[in-house]
Structure 1
Amino acid sequence: MPRTRCYRGGSLIDEDFAIDKVSEHLKDPSAVVWVDLCAEDLEDLQRVADELGLHRLAVEDAAQGRQRPKFDRYAGHDFLSAYSVQLDVDSGQLVTAEIHAFITPSALVTVRRDEAFAIDSMLTRWDDEVELTRFGVGALLHGLLDFVIDGHFEAVESLDDQIEQLEDLLFDDRPHDQSVQRRSFELRKSLVQLRRVVLPMREVVNTLMRRDIRLVTDELMPYYQDVYDHVLRATEWTESLRDLVNTILETNLTIQGNRLNIITKKVTSWAAIIAVPTAITGFYGQNLPYPGFAQQSGFVVSSILIVALSGALYIAFKRKDWL
């Protein structure tokens, strides 16, 4: 069901009223109305669009979804697209929820693609900052953006924690090559997806803060600057984590190569040591007379040579850290 609210002078005066009463509330110049719709209910969306005079292209974008984060201006209203995100720690997958907002001088209409967007948490943020609602639609929009950007920041922090765990796994005494490669790919995929969501928000918030937009009042400007600072931090953090994941992948390949070199040295060293008794026993196994042939002294000499030469090779390889 559509959700609605009406504020007057910063106070909530009505809630969950019918969409048909939106125009009635907007007759009061001091009233600010919020309407929340799911994109599946296209009839309600069209009714609100007709009532508020929303542009056809913006309505199509909200109904179709899968838009990039953006801020578009139309005659009489603005259109905003954004995504909330949440990281599934177990799978490393980034879960996104699309939301659109139609911004008029006295109304804010949010359109969600599905129930994945935590609208109740956003309402809780509005209720916790009631002193801002007296500044109108700009205050409601700030609450929406602040909620979305904080979600981006939390997702980046979660990814940072997962990458730290990946680093510990990378330098563990026991090799975890397959786990490291699979987890690195999962986190890298989530970072690429997060970058597509976070990076455009820098331009969106920066545009909203422009003086010619006349959406952010002087009283709200510090709050939007705080949101913009969070956007910049989330963007820079995402870029650094992306580079870090690439470094982990390269480091893992380097460690695998070093481990292979060590194994090759050890196998070669043991093969050289084993070759000594093989050569000596092969020599003394000839069917030709030689010093010590068919005598006990021949066995003693061959055994001494095997032990001495093998021991000398073992000590030499050990000193060179080949064993």
Structure 2
Amino acid sequence: MQEDKIRQALVELLYRNSYGVVISNIVISMAAVYVLRTAVSANWLTGWLAALYLLTAVRVLASRRFSSRSRDRGSILRWAWLATAFSCMSGLLWGVLGWVGFMPEAPIVLSFTVIVLTGLVCGTVPSLSAFPPALVGSILATVVPVALRCLTTQSDISGAFLFLLASLVAINFYYCRITYRMLRETVSLRLENETLVEHLQEERDRAQTADRAKTRFLASRRLPYWGSAATYPPARRAIWPAGRNRLSATSVGCSTLCSISRGSMRASSRSRARRCRCATSLVIFAMNSPPRQNNADLRGAW
């Protein structure tokens, strides 16, 4: 599964880099036609330019189609080999131009041809290293026609130019290998980071869910306990909002009873003690009774 994701990311990078290849083909081809207009026939240059532009247009359409469609494991390989075919055909067109432009008797044309081919071969490393077959095919298709031209042309610089091409190919193959490994490591690290982020998000969601469940459980367990609330006045006032008014009413009743007790000083001491005990019982019963206790219970206690 991880290998499929890495391959898909590399192929997507290959198609993103194809736009840079398209731009370079358009710009360099215009310069090549301008330089070779005096050494090569106009009909040949027109046909070559038309073929290159047609291939470039098809390549752009394929890139846009690749970006707009969903891809699976089998289709991603087909898209990769399609990009390889485009790279090989483009390299072959530039190789044919190198064949025509290899003119030892025209130093300007030869120098321009060497510069163009060298730049194209070196430019394939950053653009096509995401899929090594595309790079190898493009370089070989570009170099082989020029190498055959060097072998068939009797010139003093043919051997030196052939050695230059061979060295250039070997160096670019080496850098292709290094660049491909770096790209794979980069994509692999990115995918691992994405997996780690997803795992952390899942753990965060689980922790939040557990915290909400704990909060609901604790909220369901917060039931009023009349005994403890009755023995602690602040808790009693927090649970029973009407407790303060009831205590005020009870205090008024106690004051009235005490006034009655002071007014009846001539009564016997046993009668006064009985009234004080009744008033005390009434205060204690009122403080310890729940809020649903009605006045009938108070009259009964009295």
- Bin of the TM-score, shorter chain as denominator length: 0.3 to 0.5
TM-score of the aligned structures, taking structure 2 as reference length: 0.39
Larger radius of gyration: 2
TM-score of the aligned structures, taking structure 1 as reference length: 0.37
Question: Quick one: higher RCO (CA 8 Å, sep 6+), 1 or 2?
Answer: 2
